[in-house]
Structure 1
Amino acid sequence: MIRADGSKVEGEALCRDIVRKEGAVRRITVSGEVQREFYAMPGRSQFQPAQSEPKWDASFNFGLTASRMLIGTAYEPMRDKQDIMRRGALYSTLDNTYMAMYVDNRLGQVLVLEGKAPRTPRTHMGEKNMGAGDLRYWSVCKYRSLADAAVDACLYDEQVPQGKNGRFIITISAPGDRPGNARTECGVAWMPWGTGDGAGNPHGGMLLWRQMLPSAEFRPHSIFSTTRLNEEPNILGDYYPSPRYISRAEFEKLGCSR
């Protein structure tokens, strides 16, 4: 490892430098009780904190991440007054950032994401040399909530089939609601809904869209270039994974061709 000052650390010294004892890293979560109080605020949507018209919310810091529960309530305007400096939140690092949204499958059996996939290097089949791309890596994951920060399921870039011009369709549902055409042969990726929000709502949860190490050319179209709230669709453009709820029957009517 090369430190910022140029010094090199390797071997046993490297292990001592980077390994941390169990419990040394503070767990940041919100208690289930506090979370339920947020969900019960005035003006809330029917299935708060999920919204009937879902939209992604870029992550900047833990305060804004927690305030995501205010979306759809009478207190949502308070988010405009919060610190928006990007300093990391729950799942980000120096090299990766993400956007998130709350979801609930009572709003629709199937959550569909559609957009254009950023180019990423192929690595899954043991390639000897890593290629170039728009990003080093991207993924989408179904997490639970700030009270239970566990992950239920993920798809990463190479698991998502791409159609014409790099377009993709990702579907998320309970296994029993999986459309018959939500399969790779039809050009559609599928991910299981999981156990809910881990805090009493088996229908809820959080969806995270993660991006890692954008190229200089692609950075203006990446989550890394978001600087304020609600500009994600404009920044990402065609690469914005547009979300919508749909019934299983409606999705199956789309057939099996891309």
Structure 2
Amino acid sequence: MDKTIDSMRAAGLALLLSLGLVGCAGSDSEPAGETQSAAGGASGEPASGPVRDQYPFGVACGWQAASNIDTANIAFPDESAKYWVALVPMLPETRLRIDGAYPQARYFSYNVYDPILRPTDALADREIAPVTGGLNPFVQTRRPAADAWGDPYTAYVEFTGQPDSPSPNTLYAGETSLGPLPVPQPALTALIYRVYIPDEGLDFDGGVGLPILTLETRDGDIELLPTADCVEPLLPTLGDTVPSLGFNDVLEDADFIDDPFLARPGTVPIGDPESDSRVFYGLPSTVVNVLRGVFGLPVPEGVETALPAGGGFLSNIHNAYSTNLFSRTYGNIVMIRAKAPTFREQPGVALGDEQLRYWSVCQNDLPTQRYVGCVADYQAHLDEQGYFTMMVSDAADRPTNAVAENAIDWMPWGPYVDALLIYRHMLPDTRFEQAIHNVPQGTPPIEVMGDYLPQPAYCLREIVESAGPRAADIFAACRAYTESLSRGGL
């Protein structure tokens, strides 16, 4: 068969699958009106790129779902970011075209995933070249003028394995891994678009709208499924028509019942007195850590180092994570403390001299994968030594000296027995050797990260309040309490 017949067959199959998987309005759908495409410039003037009809409730949108603090707060997200998800049918002789524009934001990226939610490839903002004559503001040596934001770009998702010489602006979603072996990806991949910290006054789209997704033949000659522009996808808010219920606010304000039985060490098998920082490598090693830390099973140390990495829980290839798992059975207050890396747009740090693009700490619940609250780099209060100190407790147990003026950033615990603090590092500078990214599996993190590795502590309100106003002194007192727990005291 010649190429034209193959393309027509692919087109018919694509249409049938995509009606269910990607979502396409029928011919009797009434458009809600013309709208500027995602390639519109920051000044409001249209730029080159497709213009689609916008349909109500997010139907026909190429993106099926978006993260939401109340209803889609899963897979350990970050409060300073928003994620949009598309499920893409990977059909022979087709590819996905992404028409977008550079948002006014700290960071954006695309990741593709396998069926067990591991990222298989990614494109960071700085890797995406603009259309001819455009500008990528994420690779400039200085912050460009306002009209540089919003320039258009085109990227692609190819449904093949990654070649030795990848094409520019291209992700490859056709392969995943089974241990050390590459295997073909099934007929569907998830594409996630992330935007972190839009400029002040802007929504998470960074002022340029959402990228438009188009399924087309691999040579780009035939559009098989052009999708509509949208402000918000169908899920979980019906195109942003369902009002927020404030569920996460309720969780933040909830105080756990202080039960003397639960307060006994070891009663609830979650966490341990040490609560050491662990680096996240992937699902297998996480399962081992859960068996050990949550269920208390005697899994020997070192077993996880023989297991494959690769991420999971819809993790971002550009991020690396360390975690500390705490339990209420050892104290009604938990803390971590570490030297703070510098970050992009930090006052006094020149663009290009930052150690990380972004860092944050979030308080999560392990079973539900929800975050209760987060502190981003620009929100953190550092002490005179350049350290951050994060504290988590119920509001009723918050010490009176746990305030920003004392360089302590407090987060609510939520109605959970556990507290899982997740520390993120994003896109480290090659000169920042202490980044989480640089900790090989099997190496104690302290050997690489040094003072940048979070140190954990349990505490009680009376100990915190008696330690004075300095974060370093408070943490030292709580570390002494924690070490006494490890020795079986108190």
Asked if these proteins are the same fold (TM beyond 0.5), I'd say: yes
The change in CA–CA distance for 1:62 and 1:138 in structure 2 (over 3 A counts) is: same
* Conservation of the 8 A alpha-carbon contact between 2:284 and 2:309: no
| Equivalent-residue separation in structure 1 for 2:405 and 2:211 (angstroms) | 46
Aligned ranges 1:44-83 → 2 under 5 Å: 45-72=266-293, 73-77=296-300, 80=303, 83=306
Partner of 2:373: 153
* Conservation of the 8 A alpha-carbon contact between 1:96 and 1:210: yes
Whether 1:86 aligns to 2:309 is: yes
Whether 1:15 aligns to 2:212 is: yes
The change in CA–CA distance for 1:21 and 1:62 in structure 2 (over 3 A counts) is: farther
CA RMSD of aligned residues (A): 3.3
| Equivalent-residue separation in structure 2 for 1:17 and 1:66 (angstroms) | 37
How far did 1:195 drift? 2.2
How far did 1:90 drift? 1.7
Residue in structure 2 matching 1:116, options 319, 326, 339 = 339
The change in CA–CA distance for 1:21 and 1:94 in structure 2 (over 3 A counts) is: farther
Structure that is richer in strand per residue: 2
User: Sequence identity of aligned pairs in percent?
Assistant: 24
| Equivalent-residue separation in structure 1 for 2:311 and 2:234 (angstroms) | 22
| Equivalent-residue separation in structure 2 for 1:148 and 1:7 (angstroms) | 35
Partner of 1:31: none
* Conservation of the 8 A alpha-carbon contact between 1:122 and 1:131: no
Partner of 1:249: 462
Q: Which moved more, 1:101-110 or 1:244-253?
A: 101-110
How far did 1:55 drift? 0.7
Partner of 1:38: none
**Structure showing greater relative contact order (alpha-carbon pairs closer than 8 Å, 6 or more residues apart):** 1
| Equivalent-residue separation in structure 2 for 1:8 and 1:82 (angstroms) | 32
| Equivalent-residue separation in structure 2 for 1:55 and 1:91 (angstroms) | 24
| Equivalent-residue separation in structure 2 for 1:247 and 1:168 (angstroms) | 20
Residue in structure 2 matching 1:100, options 314, 323, 328 = 323
Segments of structure 1 that go 5 or more residues without pairing to the other structure are 24-43, 197-202
Aligned length: 226
| Equivalent-residue separation in structure 2 for 1:68 and 1:191 (angstroms) | 25
Segments of structure 2 that go 5 or more residues without pairing to the other structure are 1-153, 157-165, 172-207, 216-226, 228-232, 237-264, 472-490
Q: Which moved more, 1:97-106 or 1:48-57?
A: 97-106
**Cα-to-partner distance string for 1:110-164 (whole Å, 9 max, x where unaligned):** 11212210111236x9xxx95641111111111112x311111111111111122
Partner of 2:191: none
How far did 1:257 drift? 3.6
Residue in structure 2 matching 1:5, options 167, 186, 193 = 167
Aligned ranges 1:181-196 → 2 under 5 Å: 181-196=401-416
**Cα-to-partner distance string for 1:7-62 (whole Å, 9 max, x where unaligned):** 589x9995215999869xxxxxxxxxxxxxxxxxxxx9543221111111111111
* TM-score scaled by length of structure 2: 0.42
Report the secondary structure of 2:303's partner residue: helix
Whether 1:208 aligns to 2:422 is: yes
Report the secondary structure of 2:315's partner residue: coil
| Equivalent-residue separation in structure 2 for 1:109 and 1:170 (angstroms) | 14
| Equivalent-residue separation in structure 2 for 1:49 and 1:99 (angstroms) | 17
The change in CA–CA distance for 1:79 and 1:120 in structure 2 (over 3 A counts) is: same
Could you tell me which amino acid in structure 2 is paired with residue 247 of structure 1?
L
Could you tell me which amino acid in structure 2 is paired with residue 119 of structure 1?
T
* TM-score scaled by length of structure 1: 0.76
Partner of 2:259: none
| Equivalent-residue separation in structure 2 for 1:87 and 1:70 (angstroms) | 19
Higher-Rg member (1/2): 2
